[in-house]
Amino acid sequence: MSDARRVGWPLVDLCRSPGGPRERQLLMGEGVEVRSVRDGWASVRALRDGYRGFVPEAALTGGRVTHRVASRATHLYPAPDVKTRERALLSLGARLEVTGAAGAFAETPQGFVPRAHLRPLDAPETDPVAVAERLIGTPYLWGGNSSLGIDCSGLVQAGCLACALPCPGDSGPQAAALGTPLPEDAALQRGDLIFWRGHVAWVSDPGTLLHANAHHMAVAQEPIAEAIARIAAQGGGPVTARRRLVTPPRG
Protein backbone atom coordinates (compact mmCIF):
# COMPACT_ATOMS: atom_id res chain seq x y z
CA MET A 1 0.00 0.00 0.00
CA SER A 2 1.29 3.49 -0.84
CA ASP A 3 -0.73 6.65 -1.46
CA ALA A 4 -0.32 10.40 -1.10
CA ARG A 5 -2.25 12.20 1.62
CA ARG A 6 -2.11 15.48 3.50
CA VAL A 7 -2.14 16.36 7.17
CA GLY A 8 -5.63 17.49 8.16
CA TRP A 9 -4.88 18.44 11.76
CA PRO A 10 -3.28 21.80 12.64
CA LEU A 11 -0.23 19.95 14.00
CA VAL A 12 0.70 16.31 14.50
CA ASP A 13 3.73 14.52 15.93
CA LEU A 14 5.69 12.28 13.58
CA CYS A 15 6.51 9.44 15.95
CA ARG A 16 9.35 6.93 15.94
CA SER A 17 6.84 4.11 16.47
CA PRO A 18 3.04 3.99 16.89
CA GLY A 19 2.39 6.05 20.03
CA GLY A 20 6.14 6.35 20.55
CA PRO A 21 8.54 9.28 20.99
CA ARG A 22 8.28 12.32 18.74
CA GLU A 23 10.88 12.60 16.00
CA ARG A 24 9.52 15.68 14.17
CA GLN A 25 6.18 17.38 13.58
CA LEU A 26 4.00 17.92 10.52
CA LEU A 27 1.78 20.92 9.87
CA MET A 28 -1.66 21.16 8.33
CA GLY A 29 -1.56 20.62 4.58
CA GLU A 30 1.88 19.04 4.44
CA GLY A 31 2.07 16.04 2.16
CA VAL A 32 2.96 12.50 3.15
CA GLU A 33 3.27 9.19 1.40
CA VAL A 34 1.36 6.54 3.33
CA ARG A 35 3.24 3.25 3.35
CA SER A 36 0.88 1.19 5.51
CA VAL A 37 -1.85 1.49 8.12
CA ARG A 38 -2.31 -0.68 11.18
CA ASP A 39 -4.36 -0.29 14.36
CA GLY A 40 -5.14 3.35 13.61
CA TRP A 41 -1.55 4.36 12.90
CA ALA A 42 -0.17 5.21 9.47
CA SER A 43 3.44 4.64 8.53
CA VAL A 44 4.36 7.69 6.42
CA ARG A 45 7.19 9.45 4.63
CA ALA A 46 7.07 13.25 4.76
CA LEU A 47 7.26 14.66 1.24
CA ARG A 48 9.05 17.83 2.40
CA ASP A 49 12.22 15.99 3.47
CA GLY A 50 11.76 12.20 3.30
CA TYR A 51 11.47 11.85 7.08
CA ARG A 52 9.74 8.61 8.07
CA GLY A 53 7.58 7.88 11.07
CA PHE A 54 4.08 7.20 12.31
CA VAL A 55 1.04 9.46 12.68
CA PRO A 56 -2.56 8.72 13.67
CA GLU A 57 -4.51 7.72 10.57
CA ALA A 58 -7.24 10.15 11.67
CA ALA A 59 -4.79 13.05 11.15
CA LEU A 60 -4.65 12.45 7.39
CA THR A 61 -6.92 13.72 4.66
CA GLY A 62 -6.93 14.42 0.93
CA GLY A 63 -7.20 17.61 -1.07
CA ARG A 64 -4.80 20.13 -2.53
CA VAL A 65 -3.04 23.26 -1.27
CA THR A 66 -2.41 26.67 -2.83
CA HIS A 67 -1.19 28.91 0.00
CA ARG A 68 0.88 28.76 3.17
CA VAL A 69 0.70 30.65 6.44
CA ALA A 70 3.40 33.33 6.23
CA SER A 71 2.80 35.01 9.59
CA ARG A 72 4.04 33.56 12.87
CA ALA A 73 0.58 32.08 13.40
CA THR A 74 -3.03 32.62 12.42
CA HIS A 75 -6.51 31.52 13.40
CA LEU A 76 -8.96 29.42 11.43
CA TYR A 77 -12.52 30.71 11.83
CA PRO A 78 -15.91 29.12 11.00
CA ALA A 79 -17.05 32.41 9.41
CA PRO A 80 -15.35 35.52 7.97
CA ASP A 81 -15.77 37.38 11.24
CA VAL A 82 -13.07 37.99 13.88
CA LYS A 83 -15.73 37.91 16.61
CA THR A 84 -16.59 34.26 15.98
CA ARG A 85 -14.90 31.66 18.12
CA GLU A 86 -11.85 30.31 16.31
CA ARG A 87 -11.66 26.67 15.28
CA ALA A 88 -7.88 26.24 15.43
CA LEU A 89 -4.51 27.93 15.62
CA LEU A 90 -2.34 27.40 12.55
CA SER A 91 1.43 27.80 12.58
CA LEU A 92 3.79 29.51 10.20
CA GLY A 93 4.26 27.07 7.34
CA ALA A 94 0.83 25.44 7.47
CA ARG A 95 -0.68 24.91 4.02
CA LEU A 96 -4.24 25.49 2.85
CA GLU A 97 -6.34 25.48 -0.29
CA VAL A 98 -7.83 28.93 -0.87
CA THR A 99 -11.13 28.53 -2.71
CA GLY A 100 -12.47 32.08 -2.50
CA ALA A 101 -12.44 35.41 -0.71
CA ALA A 102 -14.77 37.06 1.77
CA GLY A 103 -13.63 40.57 2.53
CA ALA A 104 -10.39 40.41 4.49
CA PHE A 105 -10.64 36.63 4.75
CA ALA A 106 -9.62 33.76 2.52
CA GLU A 107 -12.09 30.89 2.30
CA THR A 108 -10.73 27.34 2.63
CA PRO A 109 -12.39 23.92 3.00
CA GLN A 110 -11.56 24.10 6.71
CA GLY A 111 -12.87 27.62 7.32
CA PHE A 112 -11.74 31.22 6.99
CA VAL A 113 -8.25 32.66 7.50
CA PRO A 114 -7.12 36.31 7.38
CA ARG A 115 -5.80 36.93 3.86
CA ALA A 116 -2.97 39.08 5.25
CA HIS A 117 -1.51 35.99 6.93
CA LEU A 118 -1.26 33.90 3.75
CA ARG A 119 1.15 33.76 0.82
CA PRO A 120 0.73 31.80 -2.44
CA LEU A 121 2.92 28.73 -2.72
CA ASP A 122 4.13 29.92 -6.11
CA ALA A 123 5.49 33.14 -4.55
CA PRO A 124 8.31 31.96 -2.26
CA GLU A 125 10.10 34.34 0.05
CA THR A 126 13.69 35.42 -0.49
CA ASP A 127 15.15 35.85 3.02
CA PRO A 128 15.06 32.67 5.13
CA VAL A 129 16.41 34.52 8.17
CA ALA A 130 13.51 36.98 8.02
CA VAL A 131 11.16 34.00 8.15
CA ALA A 132 13.02 32.53 11.14
CA GLU A 133 12.99 35.92 12.91
CA ARG A 134 9.18 35.78 13.03
CA LEU A 135 9.61 32.94 15.52
CA ILE A 136 11.81 34.83 18.02
CA GLY A 137 10.53 33.97 21.48
CA THR A 138 8.95 30.68 20.40
CA PRO A 139 9.57 28.06 23.13
CA TYR A 140 12.26 25.49 22.45
CA LEU A 141 10.79 22.04 21.81
CA TRP A 142 12.90 19.06 20.80
CA GLY A 143 11.55 17.79 17.48
CA GLY A 144 9.26 20.81 17.18
CA ASN A 145 8.31 22.35 13.84
CA SER A 146 5.77 25.02 14.73
CA SER A 147 5.23 28.41 16.34
CA LEU A 148 4.07 26.53 19.45
CA GLY A 149 7.51 24.98 19.85
CA ILE A 150 10.53 24.46 17.63
CA ASP A 151 14.11 23.19 17.73
CA CYS A 152 17.28 24.30 15.96
CA SER A 153 16.89 22.23 12.81
CA GLY A 154 13.16 23.00 12.65
CA LEU A 155 13.97 26.71 12.63
CA VAL A 156 16.42 26.28 9.75
CA GLN A 157 13.96 24.14 7.81
CA ALA A 158 11.13 26.66 8.32
CA GLY A 159 13.22 29.42 6.76
CA CYS A 160 14.43 27.29 3.89
CA LEU A 161 11.06 25.82 2.92
CA ALA A 162 9.43 29.26 2.89
CA CYS A 163 12.06 30.25 0.30
CA ALA A 164 11.59 27.08 -1.80
CA LEU A 165 14.96 25.72 -0.67
CA PRO A 166 14.93 21.93 -0.13
CA CYS A 167 16.05 21.18 3.42
CA PRO A 168 16.49 17.99 5.50
CA GLY A 169 14.85 17.79 8.90
CA ASP A 170 17.90 17.28 11.13
CA SER A 171 21.07 19.31 11.65
CA GLY A 172 23.46 16.53 10.59
CA PRO A 173 21.95 16.08 7.12
CA GLN A 174 21.51 19.86 6.87
CA ALA A 175 25.27 20.34 7.33
CA ALA A 176 25.88 18.00 4.41
CA ALA A 177 23.14 19.25 2.08
CA LEU A 178 22.75 23.00 2.53
CA GLY A 179 24.85 25.57 0.72
CA THR A 180 28.62 25.51 0.25
CA PRO A 181 31.43 25.27 2.84
CA LEU A 182 33.00 28.44 4.22
CA PRO A 183 36.62 28.61 5.41
CA GLU A 184 37.06 29.28 9.12
CA ASP A 185 38.45 32.75 8.44
CA ALA A 186 35.71 33.76 5.97
CA ALA A 187 33.63 36.77 6.96
CA LEU A 188 30.11 35.72 7.89
CA GLN A 189 27.00 37.30 6.41
CA ARG A 190 23.24 37.14 6.94
CA GLY A 191 21.87 33.78 5.86
CA ASP A 192 25.01 31.76 6.61
CA LEU A 193 24.69 28.68 8.81
CA ILE A 194 26.92 27.63 11.72
CA PHE A 195 26.93 23.99 12.80
CA TRP A 196 28.00 22.15 15.91
CA ARG A 197 27.60 18.48 16.70
CA GLY A 198 23.81 18.20 16.97
CA HIS A 199 23.11 21.92 16.64
CA VAL A 200 22.69 24.61 13.97
CA ALA A 201 22.15 28.38 13.95
CA TRP A 202 21.36 31.07 11.41
CA VAL A 203 23.68 34.07 11.07
CA SER A 204 21.42 37.12 11.27
CA ASP A 205 24.28 39.63 10.90
CA PRO A 206 28.09 39.29 10.96
CA GLY A 207 28.19 39.37 14.75
CA THR A 208 24.89 37.75 15.73
CA LEU A 209 23.28 34.36 15.36
CA LEU A 210 19.67 33.25 15.63
CA HIS A 211 18.83 29.80 16.92
CA ALA A 212 16.32 27.70 18.82
CA ASN A 213 18.27 26.42 21.81
CA ALA A 214 17.88 24.75 25.19
CA HIS A 215 20.01 27.41 26.95
CA HIS A 216 17.44 30.17 26.38
CA MET A 217 14.66 27.55 25.98
CA ALA A 218 13.47 29.69 23.08
CA VAL A 219 14.31 31.04 19.66
CA ALA A 220 16.80 33.76 20.52
CA GLN A 221 19.52 35.99 19.11
CA GLU A 222 22.98 35.83 20.63
CA PRO A 223 26.44 37.27 19.87
CA ILE A 224 28.30 34.69 17.78
CA ALA A 225 31.52 34.75 19.81
CA GLU A 226 29.60 34.36 23.08
CA ALA A 227 27.54 31.48 21.71
CA ILE A 228 30.62 29.62 20.45
CA ALA A 229 32.33 30.01 23.85
CA ARG A 230 29.21 29.07 25.82
CA ILE A 231 28.46 25.96 23.75
CA ALA A 232 32.06 24.77 24.09
CA ALA A 233 32.02 25.38 27.86
CA GLN A 234 28.77 23.41 28.18
CA GLY A 235 30.29 20.38 26.43
CA GLY A 236 28.80 20.98 22.98
CA GLY A 237 32.21 21.05 21.33
CA PRO A 238 33.59 23.37 18.67
CA VAL A 239 31.96 24.61 15.49
CA THR A 240 32.01 21.75 12.99
CA ALA A 241 30.96 23.58 9.80
CA ARG A 242 30.06 26.94 8.32
CA ARG A 243 27.88 26.94 5.21
CA ARG A 244 26.62 29.63 2.83
CA LEU A 245 23.22 29.18 1.22
CA VAL A 246 22.71 29.81 -2.45
CA THR A 247 19.16 31.08 -2.95
CA PRO A 248 17.40 30.27 -6.22
CA PRO A 249 17.06 33.05 -8.79
CA ARG A 250 13.69 34.80 -8.95
CA GLY A 251 12.24 35.20 -12.42
Domain extents in the chain: 3-61, 67-120, 128-244
Q: How far apart (Å, rounded) are the C-alpha atoms in residues 240 and 175?
A: 9
Q: How far apart (Å, rounded) are the C-alpha atoms in residues 93 and 162?
A: 7
Q: How far apart (Å, rounded) are the C-alpha atoms in residues 91 and 26?
A: 10
Evaluate whether the domain defined by 67-120 bears CATH number 2.60.40.10: no
What CA–CA distances, in Å, run from 90 to 30, 145, 226? Answer: 12, 12, 34
- 175, 167 contact by CB (below 8 A): no
Phi-psi region for residue 103, left (φ > 0), alpha (ψ -120 to 50) or beta?
left
Q: Which CATH class is domain 3-61?
A: mainly beta
Q: Does 2 score more than 70 pLDDT? A: no
pTM: predicted TM-score of the whole model, two decimal places: 0.95
- 154, 212 contact by CB (below 8 A): yes
- 41, 61 contact by CB (below 8 A): no
Smallest Cα–Cα separation from 71: which of 132, 134, 113?
134
Q: How far apart (Å, rounded) are the C-alpha atoms in residues 118 and 113?
A: 8
Q: Does 30 score more than 90 pLDDT? A: yes
The strand pairing partners of 6, in sequence order, are 31, 61
Smallest Cα–Cα separation from 60: which of 26, 93, 94?
26
- Each residue's pLDDT tens digit, 151-165: 999 999 999 999 999
- 134, 112 contact by CB (below 8 A): no
Q: How far apart (Å, rounded) are the C-alpha atoms in residues 70 and 154?
A: 16
Mean pLDDT of the chain: 96
Q: How far apart (Å, rounded) are the C-alpha atoms in residues 87 and 89?
A: 7
Say if 3-61 and 67-120 have the same CATH topology. Answer: yes
- Each residue's pLDDT tens digit, 191-250: 999 999 999 999 999 999 999 999 999 999 999 999 999 999 999 999 999 999 976 555
Evaluate whether the domain defined by 128-244 bears CATH number 3.90.470.20: no
Q: How far apart (Å, rounded) are the C-alpha atoms in residues 104 and 78?
A: 14
- Each residue's pLDDT tens digit, 105-150: 999 999 999 999 999 999 999 999 999 999 999 999 999 999 999 9
Which residue type sits at 56?
P
